[in-house]
């Protein structure tokens, strides 16, 4: 009987592609752009073939966009914005529900079309891609209803430019379009050139079934150059991009200084960690899902398998036995586990990286009994063992069904290996010891961690990366902040205009007295490495003192001190951080007369104003201390069998160039929220704010702030040092509150390691009152959400 069962083969279980082929034929297999609610021929009248990767056949021709097409789409989106954004949220919600219903009614057609366009199996499109896309519209229909009540201080910004990749064409479209239009934006979206078909069907559905107002969604087709045109266009207030880190980096550079909001969902090299006490058979199934789902073409694919040494051999054996059973073949066959690679280009990239792995000495394993169709881009499952953590295949994103295996001995080593990449998108941790699993999840640098599970998604749980996997979130409450912008209501200008700034050129040399102040680095008062200083005078030319002029070396030392202090500081309870901030506030308050006098002399403001600024600075510290344990994480209701905890983690080391328009209050307003959330900071002050900052150093030192948590430098050219901070690989974020040109430099330099930046004219909320919405924005900027998924039951 057993022998008989072994000989039984699968029968063909093909899903018919007839409805999809009929639909393509109905359009003469030729499509233009979707702009202002109608189909438009491409301006240049050029078309590109769409290839079915499983057969290598051309199945359609889709227009190639150019500048005129992008312009037309932007005009349509801009024109649609006023009406769409003013529509009552409930009315917008109805449209999103209508999209959801239309997607559900056409689910089969979408699933088949996605499969023949992308090469992924029908099982995946039918059971994962389409249902998740539907869920995204339902979830965000809810946000359309409630966002104005929840966040009255935030408004839609206008047109959003959106660029999506080929690995989840419809799902990525849903991730981009649903939140954007739910809250009142309009969009211009470009699908990947190799997978435009479901976007076309979606557009048709918007017109025929949903009757979405014209211009709310515009879709322009074409290659990377069309993406570039969208990014560089002056209309969008925001660019949302998903794709490779290389293109994300280019987008960061090209938008620097344009005040465009940016969300980047980039690549990954996610670790899949299995401890000896895990349920090994479940973990094997997890690996199958992590690396062979969608042919491994998943940004969060668990492509690095990290095994506890004692079970490594046994686990790899079980995995190979399982991989022998995987079926690679025609994506429309419902029994297939692995479909086709999306394009020749991607296929060749995978092959090149496999070659690299072999050349670097890794050992390759592939199932003995696998068959692939003779045409199309198919790659069977592949496992690399004997892999050094530094070799190319352990570091580069392969984006294919290729797993690399490494081992570790202790949880600490597992975490080190897991974090030993420039990425930080996702991770999977397997252990039956929940304490250990949670501890490791907390230490891994990634936006999503799945415990005893993998590749789970839900619209209510935001998705996005740490480090070079990008920033911004899609989905969840946190994703809503990325499609809305502040209502303009900054009251700081009132005080700032009254505070005069010092003109150093009127300095009278005979007033000079040597009172050079030092930097605060690692809790110590430190002289400038280069021994340089510069004078600070009052507006009337009276010398008030001189401060150190920091150079690159001082920045490096300060960053090293901040990095050294970070782990211990973030590990403190919010209660303790709050206590330290209270103490800091009390000590500043004790010195209020001295600070007010200094401020008055520095700025020539009236005594009453100087006192108000000091009072506001003290209050600011108290306020953020109060918020320390009240900026909570979330528990996402994604499933009755799963808890998803959204933890707000500090970013790490934040470089700050505070606004110098309101000395003292500018630096306090930036430092307090950063450190209260567990970050450490390096602040660089200039000629207008260095003096009060250097007096603040003494207060920091007497307030139990641990050494290295706050580091303060001064420089004659602080903007140049802000650029050094932005280029520094060990700085995680830079806040630049010193004007547009400096902000542009910082944003461009930040592309080196894709650190988060926040650039404004001056420190937001550095007026006498701090609106609570501004304070929350600071706390959001000071944190990143990590969603930890834990199954139970
Ligand atoms: P890209 O980053 O090149 O493409 C993603 C999207 O950006 C596509 O729509 C692409 O257009 C467009 N694009 C390309 N160049 C530019 C540009 N200069 N400005 C604006 N938009 C641009 O990814 P690829 O498709 O080439 O894949 C390469 C690698 O990227 C993969 O091997 C994988 O490692 C990674 N990747 C990661 C993804 C993720 O989800 N994190 C998704 C896809 C890829 P077009 O496709 O038409 O060229």
**Residue in 476, 381, 449, 424 with CA at minimum distance from that of residue 267:** 424
CA nearest ligand 1 atom 14, residue: 224
Helix (H, G, I), strand (E, B), or coil: what is residue 537?
strand
The first and second tokens of residue 32, run together, are: 């233009």
Which atom, in ligand 1's list, is nearest to the CA of 469? Answer: 41
pLDDT tens, position by position, 137-146 = 999 999 999 9
250 Cβ inside 6 Å of ligand 1: yes
426 Cβ inside 6 Å of ligand 1: no
Task: Specify the pTM.
Answer: 0.95
243 Cβ inside 6 Å of ligand 1: yes
CA nearest ligand 1 atom 16, residue: 224
8 A C-beta contact, residue 273 and residue 411: no
Distance 397 CA to ligand 1 centre (A): 13
Distance 266 CA to ligand 1 centre (A): 9
Distance 467 CA to ligand 1 centre (A): 18
State how far the Cα of 445 lies from the Cα of 451, in Å rounded to an integer.
14
The first and second tokens of residue 636, run together, are: 């996402």
pLDDT value, residue 538: 80
396 Cβ inside 6 Å of ligand 1: no
pLDDT value, residue 679: 98
8 A C-beta contact, residue 462 and residue 646: yes
Pocket test for ligand 1, best of 51, 165, 426, 474 (most atoms within 8 A of CB): 165
Residues pairing with 791 in the sheet: 642
Distance 297 CA to ligand 1 centre (A): 12
Furthest CA-CA distance within the chain? 105
∠ CA 338-130-461, rounded to 5°:
100
195 Cβ inside 6 Å of ligand 1: no
Q: Which residues contact 416 (CB under 8 A, 6 or more apart)?
A: none
pLDDT value, residue 762: 77
192 Cβ inside 6 Å of ligand 1: yes
The first and second tokens of residue 488, run together, are: 């303009």
Pocket test for ligand 1, best of 47, 63, 247, 300 (most atoms within 8 A of CB): 247
213 Cβ inside 6 Å of ligand 1: no
Residues pairing with 712 in the sheet: 520, 683
Distance 438 CA to ligand 1 centre (A): 33
State how far the Cα of 499 lies from the Cα of 503, in Å rounded to an integer.
13
pLDDT value, residue 545: 85
State how far the Cα of 460 lies from the Cα of 179, in Å rounded to an integer.
11
The mean pLDDT value of the chain amounts to 94
CA nearest ligand 1 atom 27, residue: 244
Of 99-113, 358-372, 496-510, the least confident: 496-510
State how far the Cα of 782 lies from the Cα of 507, in Å rounded to an integer.
38
pLDDT tens, position by position, 198-246 = 999 999 999 999 999 999 999 999 999 999 999 999 999 999 999 999 9
Which atom, in ligand 1's list, is nearest to the CA of 222? Answer: 47
The first and second tokens of residue 557, run together, are: 């030392």
pLDDT value, residue 182: 98
CA dihedral 556, 472, 662, 693 (to 10 degrees): -30
Q: DSSP secondary structure string, 423-449?
A: --SEEEEE-S-HHHHHHHHHHS--SEE
For the cut 70, the answer to whether the pLDDT of residue 793 exceeds it is yes
8 A C-beta contact, residue 686 and residue 580: no
State the helix-helix crossing angle for 434-443 and 411-418, rounded to 10 degrees: 30
CA nearest ligand 1 atom 11, residue: 224
Write down the catalytic residue from 100, 124, 265, 397.
Answer: 265
pLDDT value, residue 266: 97
Helix (H, G, I), strand (E, B), or coil: what is residue 471?
strand
266 Cβ inside 6 Å of ligand 1: yes
pLDDT tens, position by position, 378-428 = 999 999 999 999 999 999 999 999 999 999 999 999 999 999 999 999 999
Which atom, in ligand 1's list, is nearest to the CA of 190? Answer: 9
Distance 44 CA to ligand 1 centre (A): 23
Q: Which residues contact 676 (CB under 8 A, 6 or more apart)?
A: 574, 577, 578, 581, 624, 625, 627, 628, 779, 782
**Residue in 261, 302, 320, 609 with CA at minimum distance from that of residue 425:** 302
Helices (H) and strands (E) in the chain, counts: 28, 32
Pocket test for ligand 1, best of 118, 244, 455, 463 (most atoms within 8 A of CB): 244
8 A C-beta contact, residue 279 and residue 430: yes
State how far the Cα of 197 lies from the Cα of 100, in Å rounded to an integer.
18
Distance 251 CA to ligand 1 centre (A): 11
The DSSP code for 454 is -
CA nearest ligand 1 atom 21, residue: 227
CA nearest ligand 1 atom 4, residue: 243
223 Cβ inside 6 Å of ligand 1: yes
Label residue 506 by pLDDT band (50, 70, 90): very low
Of 471-485, 496-510, 567-581, the least confident: 496-510
pLDDT tens, position by position, 694-744 = 999 999 999 999 999 999 999 999 999 999 999 999 999 999 999 889 999
pLDDT tens, position by position, 551-586 = 999 999 999 999 999 999 999 999 999 999 999 999
pLDDT value, residue 487: 83
The first and second tokens of residue 252, run together, are: 């960061």
pLDDT tens, position by position, 240-293 = 999 999 999 999 999 999 999 999 999 999 999 999 999 999 999 999 999 999
Of 327-341, 575-589, 600-614, 624-638, the least confident: 600-614
pLDDT value, residue 504: 47
pLDDT value, residue 3: 67
For 781-789, what is the mean pLDDT? 98
State the helix-helix crossing angle for 224-232 and 245-254, rounded to 10 degrees: 30
CA nearest ligand 1 atom 46, residue: 192
Distance 455 CA to ligand 1 centre (A): 21
Label residue 136 by pLDDT band (50, 70, 90): very high
The first and second tokens of residue 439, run together, are: 């501890």
State how far the Cα of 151 lies from the Cα of 146, in Å rounded to an integer.
9
Q: Which residues of 292-318 are buried (b: 16+ CB within 10 A; e: fewer)?
A: bbbbbbbbbbbbbbbbbeebbeebbeb
pLDDT value, residue 509: 44
Label residue 151 by pLDDT band (50, 70, 90): very high
CA nearest ligand 1 atom 6, residue: 165
pLDDT value, residue 9: 74
Rounded to a whole number of angstroms, the CA Rg of the chain reads 28
Q: DSSP secondary structure string, 201-251?
A: HHHHHIIIII-PPTTSEEE---SHHHHHHHHH-SS-SEEEEES-HHHHHHH
For 52-64, what is the mean pLDDT? 97
165 Cβ inside 6 Å of ligand 1: yes
Label residue 508 by pLDDT band (50, 70, 90): very low
166 Cβ inside 6 Å of ligand 1: yes
Which atom, in ligand 1's list, is nearest to the CA of 250? Answer: 18
Helix (H, G, I), strand (E, B), or coil: what is residue 738?
coil
Write down the catalytic residue from 299, 300, 391, 605.
Answer: 299
Where residue 633 falls (left for φ over 0; alpha for ψ -120 to 50; beta otherwise) is beta
8 A C-beta contact, residue 453 and residue 791: yes
Q: Of all helices (H) and strands (E), which one includes residue 650?
A: strand 642-650
pLDDT tens, position by position, 345-384 = 999 999 999 999 999 999 999 999 777 888 999 999 999 9
781 Cβ inside 6 Å of ligand 1: no
Residue 299: active-site member:
yes
Distance 265 CA to ligand 1 centre (A): 11
Label residue 514 by pLDDT band (50, 70, 90): very low
262 Cβ inside 6 Å of ligand 1: no
Distance 126 CA to ligand 1 centre (A): 24
∠ CA 560-565-570, rounded to 5°:
135
User: Exposed, middle or buried: residue 410 (CB in 10 Å: 0-12, 13-18, 19+)?
Assistant: exposed
Pocket test for ligand 1, best of 66, 224, 236 (most atoms within 8 A of CB): 224
pLDDT value, residue 595: 95
Residue 265: active-site member:
yes
242 Cβ inside 6 Å of ligand 1: yes
8 A C-beta contact, residue 385 and residue 366: no
**The dihedral sign for the CA sequence 561, 564, 566, 572:** negative
401 Cβ inside 6 Å of ligand 1: no
Residues pairing with 155 in the sheet: 485
| Kind of pairing between the strands at 363-365 and 382-385 | antiparallel
Which atom, in ligand 1's list, is nearest to the CA of 470? Answer: 41
8 A C-beta contact, residue 359 and residue 139: no
**Residue in 506, 508, 509, 510 with CA at minimum distance from that of residue 539:** 506
399 Cβ inside 6 Å of ligand 1: yes
More confident residue, 688 or 142: 142
**Residue in 299, 360, 373 with CA at minimum distance from that of residue 119:** 373
Q: Which residues contact 593 (CB under 8 A, 6 or more apart)?
A: none
pLDDT value, residue 495: 54
Q: Which residues contact 105 (CB under 8 A, 6 or more apart)?
A: 209
State how far the Cα of 556 lies from the Cα of 521, in Å rounded to an integer.
10
The first and second tokens of residue 145, run together, are: 């209803």
pLDDT value, residue 502: 47
For the cut 50, the answer to whether the pLDDT of residue 299 exceeds it is yes
549 Cβ inside 6 Å of ligand 1: no
């Amino acid at each position: 009987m057993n022998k008989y069962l072994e000989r039984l083969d699968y029968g063909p279980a093909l899903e018919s592609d007839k409805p999809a082929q009929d639909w393509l034929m109905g359009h003469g297999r030729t499509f233009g752009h979707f702009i202002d609610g109608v189909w438009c021929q491409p301006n240049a009248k050029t078309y590109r073939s769409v290839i079915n990767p499983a057969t290598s056949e051309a199945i359609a021709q889709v227009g190639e966009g150019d500048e005129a097409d992008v312009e037309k789409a932007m005009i349509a989106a801009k024109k649609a914005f006023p009406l769409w954004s003013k529509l009552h949220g409930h009315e917008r919600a109805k449209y999103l529900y209508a999209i959801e219903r239309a997607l559900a009614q056409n689910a089969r057609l979408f699933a088949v079309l996605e499969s023949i366009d992308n090469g992924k199996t029908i099982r995946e499109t039918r059971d994962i891609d389409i249902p998740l896309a539907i869920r995204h519209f339902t979830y965000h229909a809810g946000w359309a209803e409630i966002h104005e009540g929840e966040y009255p201080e935030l408004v839609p910004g206008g047109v959003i430019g959106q660029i999506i990749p080929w690995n989840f064409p419809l799902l990525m479209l849903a991730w981009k379009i649903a939140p954007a239009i739910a809250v009142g934006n309009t969009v211009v979206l470009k699908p990947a050139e190799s997978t435009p078909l479901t976007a076309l069907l979606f557009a048709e559905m918007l017109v025929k079934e949903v009757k979405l107002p014209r211009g709310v969604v515009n879709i322009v087709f074409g290659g990377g150059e069309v993406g570039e045109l969208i990014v560089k266009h002056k209309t969008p207030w925001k660019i949302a991009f998903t794709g490779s880190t290389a293109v994300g980096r280019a987008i960061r550079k090209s938008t620097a200084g344009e005040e465009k909001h940016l969300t980047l969902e980039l690549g990954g090299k996610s670790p899949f960690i299995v401890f000896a006490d895990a349920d090994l058979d479940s973990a094997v199934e997890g690996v199958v899902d992590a690396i062979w789902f969608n042919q491994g073409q998943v940004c969060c694919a668990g492509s690095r398998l990290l095994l506890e040494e004692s079970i490594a051999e046994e686990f790899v054996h079980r995995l190979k036995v399982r991989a022998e059973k995987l079926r690679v073949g025609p994506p429309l066959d419902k029994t297939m586990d692995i479909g086709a690679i999306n394009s020749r280009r991607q296929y060749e990239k995978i092959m090149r990286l496999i070659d690299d792995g072999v050349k670097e000495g890794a050992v390759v394993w592939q199932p003995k009994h696998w068959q692939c169709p003779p045409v199309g881009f198919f790659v069977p499952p592949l496992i690399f063992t004997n892999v050094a953590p530094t070799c190319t295949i352990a570091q580069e994103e392969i984006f294919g069904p290729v797993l690399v295996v490494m081992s570790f001995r202790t949880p600490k080593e597992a975490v080190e290996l897991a974090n030993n990449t420039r990425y930080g998108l996702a991770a999977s941790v397997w252990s039956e010891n929940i304490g250990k699993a949670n501890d490791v999840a907390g230490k891994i640098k990634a936006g999503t961690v799945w415990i005893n599970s993998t590749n789970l998604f839900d619209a209510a749980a935001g998705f996005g990366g740490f480090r070079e996997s990008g920033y911004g979130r899609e989905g969840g409450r946190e994703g809503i902040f990325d499609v809305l912008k502040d209502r303009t209501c900054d009251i700081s200008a009132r005080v700032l205009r009254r505070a005069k700034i010092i003109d150093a050129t009127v300095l009278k040399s005979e007033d000079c007295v040597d009172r050079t102040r030092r930097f605060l680095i690692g809790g110590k008062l430190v002289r400038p490495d280069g021994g340089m200083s510069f004078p600070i005078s009052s507006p009337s030319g009276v010398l008030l003192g001189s401060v150190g002029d920091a150079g690159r070396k001082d920045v490096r030392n300060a960053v090293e001190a901040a990095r050294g202090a970070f782990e211990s500081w973030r590990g403190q309870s919010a209660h303790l951080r709050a206590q330290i901030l209270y103490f800091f506030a009390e000590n500043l308050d004790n010195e209020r007369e001295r600070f007010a006098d200094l401020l008055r002399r520095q700025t020539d403001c009236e005594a009453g104003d100087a006192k108000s600024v000091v009072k506001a600075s003290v209050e600011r510290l108290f306020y953020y201390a109060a918020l320390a344990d009240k900026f909570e994480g979330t528990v996402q209701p994604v499933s009755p069998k799963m808890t998803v905890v959204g933890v707000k983690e500090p970013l790490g080391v934040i470089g700050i160039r505070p606004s110098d328009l309101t000395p003292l209050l500018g630096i306090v307003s930036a430092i307090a929220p950063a450190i209260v959330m567990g970050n450490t900071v390096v602040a660089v002050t200039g000629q207008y704010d260095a003096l009060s900052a250097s007096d603040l150093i003494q207060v920091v030192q007497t307030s139990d702030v641990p050494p290295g948590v706050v580091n303060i430098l001064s420089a004659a050219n602080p903007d140049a040092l802000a650029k050094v901070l932005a280029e520094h690989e060990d700085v995680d974020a830079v806040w630049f509150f010193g004007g547009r040109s400096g902000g542009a430099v910082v944003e461009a330099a930040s592309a080196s390691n894709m650190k988060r930046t926040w650039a404004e004219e001056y420190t937001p909320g550095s007026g006498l009152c701090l609106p609570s919405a501004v304070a929350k924005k600071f706390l959001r900027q000071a944190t990143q959400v990590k969603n930890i998924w834990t199954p139970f039951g």
